[in-house]
Structure 1
Amino acid sequence: MNTRDLVLIALFAAIVVVLGLIPPITLGFIPVPITAQSMGVMLAGCIIGARRAALSFLLFILLVAIGLPVLSGGRGGLAIFAGPSGGFILGWAVAAYVTGLIAERAIRPGISEGRQFIGFFVASVVGGILVLYAIGVPWLSFVTGTPFLAAAGGSLAFIPGDLLKAAIATLAARAVYAGYPLLPARA
């Protein structure tokens, strides 16, 4: 790991903190708020790759654990991990890794712009939505005592916003990749 990697890891942890400044939107039927921070998973994975994205989220999770108010709504501390959002927050590192892994395999120099857009979007949806929900929804169900299918059904309200986040992350990742590619090349 070189200095550039450390800077990118810290930069994307900081970007997620900044995304937390956008106030959360709470829904009455599910205790997990809508935040812009989940878009950071998609951005980090698609722009800096699997390993660095996962490390940036591990750094961010460490900041939350030591009590810094870096989560949306100014929240932080160990108690967050025991709450309904805990599975989603802990899942961010895994989701960022999977997003980055898919992006690294899908995006190569010389492929068309259209295929790059598709690759970034698929990486964002699979890693940033499917993997994140696969970790967060069972945790939500367990912590709240809600049946799994009810928790999964309530989480469907987040899908339109998450698809919009995936589209934004796709556009940003493609713009960065075109001007200053940071995504590690995979064979």
Structure 2
Amino acid sequence: MTDNTPVRSADPHLPSMTRGSDLEAATPVATDRRGVDAQAVSLVAVFTALLVAAAVVPGIPVGGLGVPITLQTLAVMLTGLVLGPVRAGLAVLLYLLLGFVGLPVFSRGQSGLQVLSGPTAGYLVSFLLAALVVGLAARLVLRRTRRTLWVPLLVTASFVTTVVVVHALGVVGLMVNLRLPLQAAITADLPFLPGDLLKDVVAVVAAVAVHRAFPDVLVRQARRASTRR
């Protein structure tokens, strides 16, 4: 039996508490909040490390502009698709800050703010926005649609994000830093597009597998928040 006998506080101005149910109801909430915070920090750290690892893998040079094909876009899209907009944005932002302060975490071991004057600047800047956009799309799709629609909808969202965000800003970076005309910048960018679209498919398949195995990452997160209210 649960003892609901009132417990008087030593301070006469504080209200009385009841044993059992009141205390038991309060305890899980605090514990759950600590768990969610720890999970968020861990996921951000893990995916920041993934972004670094993807940049460390040697890229394949394409053309003469110094922009290699790397696994970075795959890692960025996977981060957004798995973590959602906020945590993915934090992971990519942390990755960029690590590189800007001098750690060799960009492609070909580059680091520092000087990369923003190079040919890859537009692509680097696009990573943060791409993670936010595809992360928001992933959160909406996973929480509001049937599982059978996850792959086609997420592939579509990833394709649109890749073209409209990553490659559009990449072209702008080529135009600004290399002073290329628009047509020349688009021509320089096009060889990267088929590979990035293929990487989008790989990222979606991997992210859907993660969410089916661990639905708490995004699917059940909203339900737990509403329950605490």
Candidates 86, 91, 97, aligned match of 2:132 = 97
Structure 1 CA distance, aligned partners of 2:77 and 2:123? 14
For the pair shown, the structure with the greater C-alpha radius of gyration is 2
Query: Does residue 95 of structure 2 align to residue 60 of structure 1?
Result: yes
TM-superposed deviation, 1:92: 0.5
Task: Indicate yes or no: 2:153 matched with 1:119.
Answer: yes
RMSD: 1.9
Does the 8 Å CA contact 1:96/1:128 hold for their aligned counterparts? no
- What's 2:106 paired with? 71
CA distance in 1, matches of 2:222, 2:157: 15
Equivalent residue runs for 1:110-149 within 5 Å: 111-113=146-148, 115-149=149-183
* Cα displacement (A) at 1:134: 2.0
Question: Which runs of 5 or more residues in structure 1 are unaligned?
Answer: none
Q: Is the 8 A contact 1:31 1:84 kept in 2?
A: yes
Question: Contact 1:20–1:37 (CA<8 Å) still a contact in 2?
Answer: yes
* RCO higher in structure (CA 8 A, sep ≥6): 1
Corresponding residue for residue 120 of structure 2: 85
**Aligned partners of 2:117, 2:37: CA distance in 1, in Å?**
35
Letter in 2 for 1:157: P
Misfit runs of 4+, over 4 Å: 184-187
Match of 1:174 in 2: 208
Deviations 1:84-127 (A, max 9, x none): 101111110111000101111122376133x1111221222222
Separation (CA, whole Å) in 2 of partners of 1:12 and 1:129: 23
Question: Offset at 1:132?
Answer: 1.1
Structure 1 contact 41–99 (Cα < 8 Å) conserved: no
2-structure distance, mates of 1:16, 1:27? 21
Deviates more, 1:118-127 or 1:4-13: 118-127
Letter in 1 for 2:39: R
TM-score (norm: length of structure 1): 0.91
Give the conservation status (yes or no) of the 8 Å contact 2:58–2:70.
Answer: yes
Q: 2:198 aligns with which of 160, 164, 174?
A: 164
What TM-score, normalized to structure 2?
A: 0.76
For these two proteins, the number of residue pairs brought into alignment is 186
- Uncovered stretches (5+) of structure 2, i.e. residues with no partner: 1-35, 224-229
Residues 37 and 58 of structure 1: is their aligned pair in 2 closer, same or farther, counting only changes over 3 Å?
A: same
CA contact (8 A) 1:129 1:162 kept: no
| Aligned position for 2:10 | none
| Match in the other structure for 2:51 | 16
Given candidates 40, 49, 72, the residue that maps to 1:5 is 40
Q: CA deviation at 1:31?
A: 2.9
Q: Tell me, what secondary structure is at the counterpart of 1:33?
A: strand
**Cα displacement (A) at 1:128:** 3.4
